[in-house]
Amino acid sequence: MLFAEIVATSGGVAATAARSTKADLLADLLRRLDDDEVEPAVGFLTGEVRQGRIGVGWATLMAIVSDPSAEPTLTVGDIDLAMSELAATIGSGSGAARASLLSRLFGRATEPEAAFLVRLLGGELRQGANEGVMVDAVAKAAGVPAAAVRRAHMLGGRLDTCARAAITGGTAALEQIGLQVGRPLRPMLASTAPDTATALEDLGRASVEWKLDGIRIQVHRQGDAIWVFTRNLNDITARVPELTDAIARLPVTSVVLDGEAVAFDDAGRPRMFQETVSWRARAEGDEGAAAATSSPAAPDAVTDDADADVEVEIALDQAPAGLRPYFFDCLHLDGRDLVDEPLADRLAALDAAVGPWRMPGTVTDDLAVAAAVLAESLGAGHEGVVAKAVGSPYEAGRRGKAWRKVKPVHTLDLVVLAAEWGHGRRQGWLSNLHLGARDPAGGFVMVGKTFKGMTDALLTWQTERLGQLEERATKGTVWVHPELVVEVAVDGVQSSTRYPGGVALRFARVVRYREDKDPADADTIGAVQALLPG
């Protein structure tokens, strides 16, 4: 199939708001693909190529200069092969080699194809073909129940491979995809609740557990074989020997565990998320991993853990000062799959399997008890709690209501110092804001950036207003007179060497502009620093 058909379908999906119409358009395309084209096509249309991280940034994409092809000639196979070549281009000189590969690829692309590739590689492919819509489309194309596709997706981990199984083998092929020790499952996610009282009102009796700011891990063990996967299903087994050593001591034959890994400082306090990841990188001398921690949203390390025998107790006492595991769910134990069992049964299995490596928490329907667990978690330097309905099965994918995370949300009034021009769908708008806190000694101290929480109407107003305040500009950034005060919500802050105040915002998003406030009313750098844990 010509790649142009993928691009045209993407355009059709983006042009309609109706979920059923999106699914129909995608299903029609899926039916016309050759079997070998299904997996790459699903990746292209959901914005996640099957090769994983390609290693191409916006700077590389923006530097490509080539005249568009007049006629479409690229096939789905051509693009898939190019993605594989880009992913395999690593090491010294890889930047120039990737640029050369991209120049040749874009030289064969039509203008619409090139625009699609820029958005795909730049992570800006916002067209409405998310995983949920694609699951519906696969079910329609294959003539199978959507529930069968969703379950196979959870157990098999990858939507592209499940799509091929459904289209080539129907329901029977999907039913062959079961839990397999050594193959990662998609993780269950939590939605947000404003407080523990609301969470318990929604859930009833629940397991209220600490929420850590660590690396989400999924651990598999079959005999002596051990695997450790990240939230994004990447295999990091070789990089976490302290975790594999702990798992090797568990009193089990086969097990699949869900949990978090956290690093602690010399005083026994948990390190912040970026410190946990960078500690791991420094321990390995891995410059790439260390560089990934410069962003507070590193893709592969995002958070959201019978009687213990003597060996486990000893292992805990002798644990290294590096990563420590906390497990909060057990999905398989010694030949028994548990994903469909209620949480209460899974927690019983968890106790038998991990003993002291269990995530702290308690089962309760008492609001005071839940509030106390939250206070304990925060007092220990962690993020908050997750409340989980005790009767719920393990369901991956969408953020359902069976798990509810509760953590304090802070708001800050900051000053806009600059803004970067948007890419992809935000082309032509000033999007990524540079945010500054007030320095009592004079001026403003940059503490982070955000492009989140903005509607199209706000982006339009923001672009016009910042244009009126422009002081200087480059091709990608406009620096403005520090006049506009914007209220942002943050999950917290973290230590940073990137900004002069030594602190950076975590997961900042725009709440509203405060035109009722002057820059002199903005929060000080001291107020931002005060949000640092401890």
Pair type for strands 323-333 and 336-337: antiparallel
Tokens found for residue 427? 């082309």
Do the beta carbons of residue 261 and residue 325 sit within 8 Å?
yes
Question: What counts of helices (H) and strands (E) characterise the chain?
Answer: 19, 19
Cα–Cα distance measured from residue 509 to residue 435, given in angstroms and rounded to the nearest whole number: 11
SS3 482: coil
Do the beta carbons of residue 529 and residue 493 sit within 8 Å?
yes
Burial of residue 72, with CB atoms counted within 10 A of its CB: 0-12 exposed, 13-18 middle, 19 or more buried: middle
Active-site residue, selected from the candidate residues 22, 140, 211, 449: 211
Helix (H) or strand (E) holding 401: strand 400-406
Cα–Cα distance measured from residue 108 to residue 118, given in angstroms and rounded to the nearest whole number: 14
Closest CA to 281 of 299, 267, 293, 270: 293
Cα–Cα distance measured from residue 93 to residue 435, given in angstroms and rounded to the nearest whole number: 35
Cα–Cα distance measured from residue 199 to residue 188, given in angstroms and rounded to the nearest whole number: 17
Cα–Cα distance measured from residue 21 to residue 3, given in angstroms and rounded to the nearest whole number: 21
Largest CA distance in the chain: 71
Burial of residue 234, with CB atoms counted within 10 A of its CB: 0-12 exposed, 13-18 middle, 19 or more buried: middle
Tokens found for residue 480? 């403005």
Cα–Cα distance measured from residue 262 to residue 324, given in angstroms and rounded to the nearest whole number: 5
Tokens found for residue 59? 């700077």
Q: Is 407 a catalytic residue?
A: no
Residues recognised as catalytic: 211
